[in-house]
Amino acid sequence: MKIVVLLKQTFDTEEKIEIENGSIAEDGVKFVINPYDEYAVEEAVKLRDEHGGSVTLLSVGPDRTSEALRTALAMGADDAVLISDERIPDDEYAVSKVLHAYLAKETPDLILGGNFSVDRGSGQVAIRLAGLLGIAHAGSITKLTISGNKAEVHRDAEGDLEVLEVQLPAIFTAQQGLNEPRYPSLPGIMKAKKKPFQTLSLDDLGLSEDDIRPATKQSDLSLPPERSAGRILKGEPAEVAHELVTLLRTESKVI
Amino acid sequence: MSKTILVYAETRDGKLRQVALETLGAARLIAGDGDSIRILVAGSNITEAVSALKPYGGEIIYTVEHDDLEHYNPDAYMAAIEAVLGVAKPDAVLFGHTAIGRDLAPLVAASMDAGQISDVTAIENNSGEAVFTRPLYAGKAFEKRVFVNGPWVVTVRPNNIPAAEAVEGVDTSIEDVAFPAPSLRSVIKDVVRKTTGKIDLSEAKIVVSGGRGVKSAEGFKPLEELAELLGGAVGASRGACDAGYCDYALQIGQTGKVVTPEIYIACGISGAIQHLAGMSQSRVIIAINKDPEAPIFKVADYGIVGDLFDIVPLLTQEFRKVLVS
């Protein structure tokens, strides 16, 4: 079984966000595999161990993305492809076209990705690819079993659980609860250094800037107004409970 | 040039969802003079939802009704939408950023070769140009975004865009569109309803959330009672989910859901930066925690230092008194 994992490198969720000269500052920031993509990597490696085949990591991003890809190779993926080109705009419409150009030639049986990325959080790219490739998909899955050319998945739909049978090839996006991602082992890290790692440009994919013109662009970037600490209510539990409900009526007027 | 804006009006169990009216509200913010707003309702039993929608106007309500649309299925719903796209030929399609909207919108965008702006929390009309505000890093930052090329696909976050108001004397026509009954590449085997009768977390006006301080699955009981009384939903921190006290579906934070209710009550949650990202845009934040140094108090409008198991039941009592009178 040929499995491709869509992977994005993101800020560690511990990071605070600062804006410098109109963009988000990256100095000293710790980067990680997008947490949802980490579930996808783990699931792909488990499925490959069970059914045979290969796991290819696929990413669009700057050169620093190679660190995240090496980590995922150390978790057990077989090879990595990084599409890195400054001409690729920061727009999901364009990014999915770039990924599509690569995937259309590869015909994987299974594509796994994260439910969304914790940075831009738009959750578009994987599902757009299902549309562009003309294959089935299920988003936000918490269980995946493959038998023959079918997959049985559990999907989280706003707290309800759907059990689906999906024809392969298909794209699934990982939700929390799918698995517990492994930590890369030391031998895994050593092996990862020797695994095939390909870096591609737009030209390698036969794309020009015109093919991937963005459909949307950022016009402003800001930090939310900081919340200041309010007041601590003091007294016996029964008193503070009464005071709080009174304040919600008279001061905040929310009830 | 006048635009046609198509609003996907989401239903649940045959009933119109609040987010449908908010999506229609978003369409009105985008629309200029002469633009046409149309609405799409798809499902297996949509009579009630369509009558509920009628007072809100829109030039045409397109209805697609078929048994295959009883449960959400991307192939079936895409076929329904594409049938409507064929007759409506919209320049923009709007969805709620819900489980269904998040799943359908990118498919529609790919099919229309359109850009998409997701999870929009505010819309301004700058002399004819629609400017969309949306969160980055779950709300640690916000960006404004515009379309540079048409067509447009937009998803709007529940609870943020003002719902459309009813319009007097509207003349909305209803057009049935035939369902093309596609072959389905995925089949629903089972739906386990865990949320029947409950309010969806992302749409709830009041969220009562528990963290590690809740100590067990059983410990969520007092929180559930308070949420039920207030007509709200129960959420959780990652700590509570990782400890197995509750389902990951309840998790609020940078991983998990982002919520923006009127009242957020954090019980036994310390307030890690990832959790704060997911709730700090709530209107009023209440924190209950034993540890006076917990970071959650730094963002809370009202803080109570104490044991949630003492405080929460007393709060429920107090709210009950107020709500009854």
CB-count exposure of residue B45 (10 Å: 0-12, 13-18, 19+): middle
Identify whether the C-beta of residue A182 lies closer than 8 Å to the C-beta of residue A42.
Answer: yes
From B144, B148, B195, residue closest to A160, measured CB to CB: B195
Which residues of chain B does A231 touch, with a Cβ-Cβ cutoff of 8 Å? 301-303
**Cα–Cα distance measured from residue A85 to residue A80, given in angstroms and rounded to the nearest whole number:** 16
List the one residue out of B190, B162, B20, B175 whose CA is nearest residue B100. Answer: B20
A224 is a domain residue: no
Contacts 24+ apart (CB under 8 A), B19-22: B19/B96, B19/B98, B19/B101, B19/B156, B19/B158, B19/B203, B20/B49, B20/B53, B20/B96, B21/B56, B21/B163, B21/B164, B22/B96, B22/B156, B22/B158, B22/B159, B22/B160, B22/B161, B22/B162, B22/B163, B22/B164
Enter the tokens of residue B103.
Answer: 């799943």
Which residues of chain B does A17 touch, with a Cβ-Cβ cutoff of 8 Å? 136-137, 140-141
Residue B1 has pLDDT above 80, yes or no: no
Across the interface, whether the CB atoms of A158 and B201 are under 8 A apart is answered yes
Residue B197 has pLDDT above 80, yes or no: no
From A156, A222, A245, residue closest to B315, measured CB to CB: A245
| β-pair type (A216-222, B141-147) | antiparallel
A242 is a domain residue: no
CB-count exposure of residue A182 (10 Å: 0-12, 13-18, 19+): middle
Which single residue is written with the structure tokens 């975004």? B145
Domain positions in chain B are 4-176, 201-324
A200 is a domain residue: yes
- Region A220-244 average pLDDT: 94
Across the interface, whether the CB atoms of B106 and A142 are under 8 A apart is answered no
Residue B113 has pLDDT above 70, yes or no: yes
Q: Which residue of B has its CA nearest to A124?
A: B106
Domain that holds residue A40: 2-212
Across the interface, whether the CB atoms of B249 and A96 are under 8 A apart is answered no
Per-residue pLDDT band at B78 (split at 50, 70, 90): very high
- Region B130-139 average pLDDT: 97
Q: Mean pLDDT for chain A?
A: 96
Q: Using one digit for the tens of pLDDT, what is the confidence trace for B257-299? A: 999 999 999 999 999 999 999 999 999 999 999 999 999 999 9
A246 is a domain residue: no
A217 is a domain residue: no
Three-class secondary structure assignment of chain B: CCCEEEEECCEECCEECHHHHHHHHHHHHHCCCCCEEEEEEEECCCHHHHHHHHHHCCCEEEEEECHHHCCCCHHHHHHHHHHHHHHHCCCEEEEECCHHHHHHHHHHHHHHCCEEEEEECEEEEECCEEEEEEEEHHHCEEEEEEECCCCEEEEECCCCCCCCCCCCCCCCEEEECCCCCCCCCEEEEEEECCCCCCCCHHHCCEEEEECHHHCCCHHHHHHHHHHHHHCCEEEECHHHHHCCCCCHHHEECCCCECCCCCEEEEECCCCCHHHHHHHCCCCEEEEEECCCCCHHHHCCCEEEECCHHHHHHHHHHHHHHHHHC
Domains B4-176 and B201-324 share a fold: yes
The highest-level CATH class for domain B4-176 is alpha beta
A147, amino acid identity: S
A22 is a domain residue: yes
Number of structural domains in chain A: 1
Q: Mean pLDDT for chain B?
A: 95
Whole-structure pTM value: 0.95
A123 is a domain residue: yes
User: Residue A114 belongs to a domain with what CATH number?
Assistant: 3.40.50.620
Which residues of chain A does B262 touch, with a Cβ-Cβ cutoff of 8 Å? 254
Across the interface, whether the CB atoms of A122 and B119 are under 8 A apart is answered yes
**What pLDDT, on the 0 to 100 scale, is given for residue B259?**
95
Residue B194 has pLDDT above 70, yes or no: yes
Q: Using one digit for the tens of pLDDT, what is the confidence trace for A189-199? A: 999 999 999 99
Which residues of chain A does B72 touch, with a Cβ-Cβ cutoff of 8 Å? 157, 162
**What pLDDT, on the 0 to 100 scale, is given for residue B168?**
87
Enter the tokens of residue B156.
Answer: 């709007």
**What pLDDT, on the 0 to 100 scale, is given for residue A56?**
98
- Region A57-85 average pLDDT: 98
Across the interface, whether the CB atoms of B139 and A224 are under 8 A apart is answered yes
Per-residue pLDDT band at A167 (split at 50, 70, 90): very high
Which among B118, B188, B199, B312 is the top mutation candidate for probing chain A, defined by the most A β-carbons within 10 Å of its own β-carbon?
Answer: B118
From B140, B262, B301, residue closest to A17, measured CB to CB: B140
The highest-level CATH class for domain B201-324 is alpha beta
Q: How far is B169 from chain A (nearest CA, A)?
A: 33
Which among B91, B102, B121 is the top mutation candidate for probing chain A, defined by the most A β-carbons within 10 Å of its own β-carbon?
Answer: B102
Across the interface, whether the CB atoms of B109 and A139 are under 8 A apart is answered no
pLDDT over 90, % of chain B: 89
From B137, B302, B304, residue closest to A119, measured CB to CB: B137
A79 is a domain residue: yes
